[in-house]
Structure 1
């Protein structure tokens, strides 16, 4: 029969002396919010009634949300625990009134629109109100009571003290003098990581480190031919030292592949993550000459980079001409995307030329300490891709219009932890008078502080992406004439992340074990289970269902071992490991800290602690002077509490004597005897004991005092002799189990280690007791970090430091960060420095050599230590230390050249950054020689300073191939040479002359000019043909203005536009290259045609004609100008309003006044315009007429002009016309 919890709590608190208004701590495993405790039970899932009962067994109830702040707290914890689960609350739908929501426990009504995700979730079927997630939103939804869900229990902190559970650990039932005596199975603390080898190395290593006692034995396996093979058995070039696998002289076809570490001792075996060892690779571009790219002037275009194979990644750059790099910060109308394409917002004839794509191998980072990124990563340059721009009439200012390829995300399927790039690029004219301005916003939130904008704000970078970075990102592009915007929905994929990892289980023999693990990932993971490295399947005694493992009857010696839950999706695999120990032993008091000789004050209270350990869990019975004590919580002055302790209240002389606590199970029993002496004085009956606790765990120090209730007493706690302020320190509170004198240190920190003193004062006397709390966790902060002045090299320093406190767990690794005056951002310099790599001297200093530094640079360092519990704080930065000077260690990059003045050779390069120069006195040695003179000596010139170009005289060696290389030097010597590049000397003035020049009328304002192209040879052109210049002037003017137009291609024809109708022009043609123009051709006399019709057709009407046709009628035009030609016919232009007007799709209908247009579609709105044609060209177009298959749609221009100004007329027209038309179309 269950006793009313409310009555029990009332009775207990009525007889316990008041402790004022202090609030007590929540039990272990419960979350605290203000004055309430919350327990989030993910597994096992239950239906509503089972969940409600489970909460009641703890004296709690399903959660009831009172206000907005409490709702936000609950939502934050739900996001923390799992995004995929749903959680029962106490709320329900009233059975009699639809959409009336109430709390079941109280019957109070809930506001209808309180915490629902949205209206749809509120209208779902089901009587229970639950917490759920929809997209990024967490809030209320509905569910049937029968659904198996997680649930949230809630209880007042005042009422939480009966929820008492003793946790088991590796020392349960054992007497251990220190932590080193704890025997346990292996746990991998440092796992290997994917490793990329860039260039040949003498050796590389993969390493994993495991904790365990006895010390684990390591093995490495390689996946090969659908099986795993122990690596050290393959070949002698593999060496295994502890967990480090060393591969000597690694080569791709032998050593690349997937590897896995395992660690094993007498308690079982665990496997580490599967890691990939790969070799970086960059192939070659095809030798096939790419097809030219054709583009119309004043339109947008792009050039695709030719295909190249690579591993793991590459970056792109583009080169114009002989080797002039595209600089998008200067050439602002160009954009280089991470997809390799070069985009132009608007192209012109000046952009005509040859473009080459430069691909460079890219390595994000290196995990392996022995690997290093070489000074020059491999790169390849493609064959020239020719861009040919066709002459067109300028459209004036237009755009911006965001290109269809954008917004683009890289990587295309981003995962958590990636650096994610969002790119935005718009088409349109952009110059100083019409600049395109890019901006970004997050539609559903704010940017994180890891967002960086670059490349004129066209690129948004999210560093090390997290879940909260998901959302809608909007790019807006503005100019003086228009604006465009586009939204991109950023969603992440990820490998499984263990949101509910396995924890060690210490279970009773013959008990049922239900083990859950949970991983969050997109897409959802699949689960497998392993025991001691062997795949588990459902059997008679073990049931496996996805992420749940059930052992119905745990047997010692059979089910003990190391278990692993493995979550896997296409992005990776994650392991969670823990030990299962099946316990079977008779009760004992080996770890009991209870005092057995206790003094209690007359009329006071005392508590006797029966801290027995046994498996199965012991039953507790008490005797007083040999007679069993009958327990009655509601009435008795002597009570056995739920945790087995015995509490005696209002002590009197008869309570003095011997008490015994007996703990028993099926394996036997053990008894602990107490002697109570009743005195008149104030006494401490239970003193605080020295205690160890891990960081973030909760420690409890008991301090029970016995005193006569008629005395006024005060309990106080001091930490390192400073009184604890409970009101202003969230880490300290009074114990729920011992609200009078017990102290709880919640979420303990390292700084909470120290002496705690309990003081009890009365009007008669004062007594005190103290104990030491040791908080175990990550190491402390390294101190005394400095560089050894006697061991400083050109690229290395020897650091030494005083090791920090290990805080209870041995230090396993150190990590070093560095920065320099010239590169002030902190960066990871060396990670995973194992203790085996650390030197220790007689003075206690630790030291290590840090390499990979730049010469002649002032560096600061900081360092952190880590152990199995985590990473300690970074040390204070060291003093600056300068590395020794050396010759430059890197060659100059981006060696290019070409162009320049006639009879010169121009050589260009990117100068070394200041931190790459190695020492003072930087300069460059420039080498060049004729490419045909391979094997001969180089010409050489040394120049001082941080220069980037050099020009030398080469006389008549115009447009000749030269080999060039650059070498940096300083006061300490010469650095390595760059790779050899081939460039051309400057071109000379062309000798070729175009012949057979001919000009004829194209229309009334243009001429068609043709000629025979010049031979594009070095002898004729003294370079390469860049294009042709057509010169023209009016024959009939005395002092004519001479005009010219250039075309940047090798074709022998062009159309000269913008001329007067019915006029005569003299024409010449010249070829040109980068040096200038060649000789003038012969002069030819050409003429333009008659003027095009000046009027446009009127009275355009459209009538329904057939199932896919309409009849268009119009009134023609009359030619009145003497310069205009006779109308030869009419053109009819028809298009869908959402499509772009295209003159080439206009239909020539002849000399008619009506025409049937066919091939039309239902439910579309069309535009039609009509123009007259003659030999002089096309005339003006008629006003736009709107129609559908049902016929013409009336639209009176005059009704709308008054509504709009010149700047917004088009937009207003569209909106008004659309509103008139939509219903009309839908009625068809």
Structure 2
């Protein structure tokens, strides 16, 4: 209502009906109301008038009826427990608050007690009692140890609804002396501690397994009654070894899982907001491999309820003089509540007869009301479960139309939006409304306009042509009035480049782009949402322009990312999904079956592929005899497989296997290894590779080979049978030697550089390997006997010569000919009579060559050279020494040029000789 209009009081804020307070804090009982004139406040406590001014510990706030009790300053909180009700009054009537029951939160101590140790046998069940003290409200229970660490709970150890700690079976590691139950009282924020409980576990030489039996609830059946609309909580905790598994179902009906939750490792079933259809038999099934036990709870839903409003409580009325109106009190409950009416806080029966008022059960009919009369009616609905109170005032006014909406208000909208142009008016009686649209004198319901609510004009799907000035005319029999509003139409916001679906590698970078257009007169803001929630600030979220970059991507970043382009008038949205990919998780549950002599079936369960398909599984093996702890790749299989036959295993190997999953990101961590798998012994299936024979001096030959892997030895007593004979001996007998734990044999007394036939065969206690191939080896080499003949030198220019020679006979090389070497050295420059020591330089040429080019010589110099053949042993004798000289070459540049200026017309120049003259120096050329 307008501020100048008389208004009866109405309660706007109050404390809850059941008000629990901390006895250590000041007590604040809220009561706020509005009205014109401003209401005054009065209180009752336990049905008797309560005067705050008579108690120095109590104050009423000046701007409301709220009471503040000073407990911190020394008041006793217990004195102020009770039932309070606030009355707000002005000349228009009296409104009542709910009855507010003030209770102190209590957190009593545990009684002093001596708790005997709990002794159980290993494997048996145990229950540690909590028995918390009662409090208002009931405390929250949890278990900790003496260093205030929460005790871990799981399928085997868990806390029941009553606060007790249950052990389905006890292990030796459960023994300790500091099981402590704590009770936390919410309102007082205090925690009380029970005396520690000691659990002693008696170890047994043998722990017997046993089937499930129920610890809570006990027996095979129970019953439970729940009020309609409340929460149903069922619990099943079972003993057993192995630890039982708990399952729930509803007998003869579907479990309403959309409202149900399983908590406490499936031991607690929670069903919210129960209805009549939730009654029936709920079955809890406890099972382990020794048996199954079931407990059936018969649940009855009692349709009882405290009173509640069907239509939101009685509604206030502003009426014109002589008008008829009704006030209704539509309340229900179970049992059906009784209805009591009050007038201005007192029983309506005590207000006297009024011919204009008729009370008919839950309805009051008022007629022929004179101007200026007003009152507040209270409706109270009560049954055995409680009561509710509602206030409704009746105000009889005759007021000409008063415009409440701002004059000349500007509305802005974008194309195709629906606009609501308001013309808020207060008048009694209600006025008539007439709307005029821009550029026409036609009113409402034209060109798609709607004015179903008289004080609001609805313009659907506005277009540019709908812009302009709108006029609202209002009138009742007392007067008339009008309001003007202007409508501006803007271009809509559109996303022209939406974000694209992304796949990003874990710890990688993901970048979304989003570009939008908008009306140029408006400012645009780009914001991002993750799975429907605003994107939080994070150093990993980089907003640059309209784009979003996420760095160090993790699993928590997976989801839908929405780009919202918004102005103050509208917004446009587009979204895309981010999928985070990573290496697969390790395969698990490896199992070996169908064991044969040299094969076994390996089965596993794949780990999570982490949003990227597994391409292959790699099977690796490790053996503990030859290379313990070293893993080798055995084979790979398609990513669709999870069971393979390993049928190419080596004999006499103690295998362990593990599996690695591979996707496009990379390989997973290896799985846990299998148990050991020993294959049978067999004779070797292969012989060693890399067999060769080479001598280290002219009278021996060393036969060597690459040692075979341990997994190829195939049995105990492994060794090598080495045989050799001169290639020129025809079919002579082989000389044979068997060796263990080494990979060479030394043959002595051999002729120089002679070819031998060699065989190396693998053997073990089971038998021989396959027939080996024959390899040709050679005994040791010696120094070549002859030098190259007819060595000639051809000078090609001042720095290059060509050397030719005749090859030596191959038999004189006494070894593998590796080539020819040209040894050459600088003797002196031709202009210098003194010989100067110079290092020899060597060039090597392939054995098929009979000539070679020697570059990099000094011009105008005397050189000498020799040619040798060489094998692996050494160079042979040198050829006859050859001597030659190189022709003149270009000198190097003069050095240290210096300029002098003895006069204005002449220069003096001097310099040092070139470092390399390369011939006879004939003069200098000066250029300028």
Classify the TM-score, shorter chain.
Answer: 0.3 to 0.5
When you count helix as a share of all residues, which structure comes out higher? 1
TM-score, structure 1 normalization: 0.30
Bigger radius of gyration among the two: 2
TM-score, structure 2 normalization: 0.39
